[in-house]
Structure 1
Amino acid sequence: MNKASEVELDALKGVGPVLTKAVMDERKKAPFRDWEDATGRVKGLGPQKASSLSEQGVRVQGSAYTVKAADTKPVASKDASADKAAAKAAKPADAAAKTVPAKN
């Protein structure tokens, strides 16, 4: 990431002119020390993008990006409608849930 040209950065999947400019601008200030430094300084370069770039061969000081436990987020279910239906089925409907005391 410290040596790639503007054209090389722009050619990466998921990198457009805005991210390329941000990387180039930050790199002019100082080379990136590591991935944490890069993701902290470059707006739009988060854990997911860093992982994608690393898979494409991008390195910072010779190192590939490694996911830290704090960078991971829970994966949403692929079938959100089934999750909602299951949650709805798990709790009774309001009318059926209320018990009416018997009048003597």
Structure 2
Amino acid sequence: MRKTYLASLLITLFGILSLPLNAAPANPAAAAAPSVQAESDRLDLNKADAMALQSQLSGIGKSKAEAIVAYREEHGDFASIDELLEIKGIGKALLDRNRDKLTVN
């Protein structure tokens, strides 16, 4: 009987200790927040200058930032973010790395 009582007590204790692990997060708003940046936090490809592109995007240096601005001046405003793939030196991996930082308005 002692073993049964001790086993019941241990099971109850482990159950109680595991409750915080299964509980809802303390700040439900933070848990529900999307991982993608808000539209206002994104860099607009049609308005950003080379310095802004260089400083805010990952893997974009001076020459690529200038190439983005030159492409925009030559071809007009970007219709979509995917149009960056037309610029030499910008591939799918680089675009995917920065996609959530960009917008086209």
Deviation at 1:46, TM superposition (A): 1.3
* Structure 2 residue runs without a partner (length 5+): 1-44
With CA pairs under 8 Å and 6+ residues apart, which has the higher RCO, 1 or 2?
2
Q: Give the alignment's TM-score, normalised by structure 2.
A: 0.50
Q: Give the paired residue count.
A: 59
Cα distance in 2 for partners of 1:37, 1:10 equals 18
Moved over 2 A (4+): 35-38
Aligned-residue CA RMSD in angstroms?
1.4
Deviations 1:81-100 (A, max 9, x none): xxxxxxxxxxxxxxxxxxxx
Larger fraction in helix:
2
Q: Give the alignment's TM-score, normalised by structure 1.
A: 0.50
Cα distance in 1 for partners of 2:90, 2:103 equals 14
Query: Larger radius of gyration, structure 1 or 2?
Result: 2
Deviation at 1:13, TM superposition (A): 2.1
Identity %: 24
Residues 34 and 17 of structure 1, relative CA distance in 2, 3 Å threshold: same
* Structure 1 residue runs without a partner (length 5+): 62-104
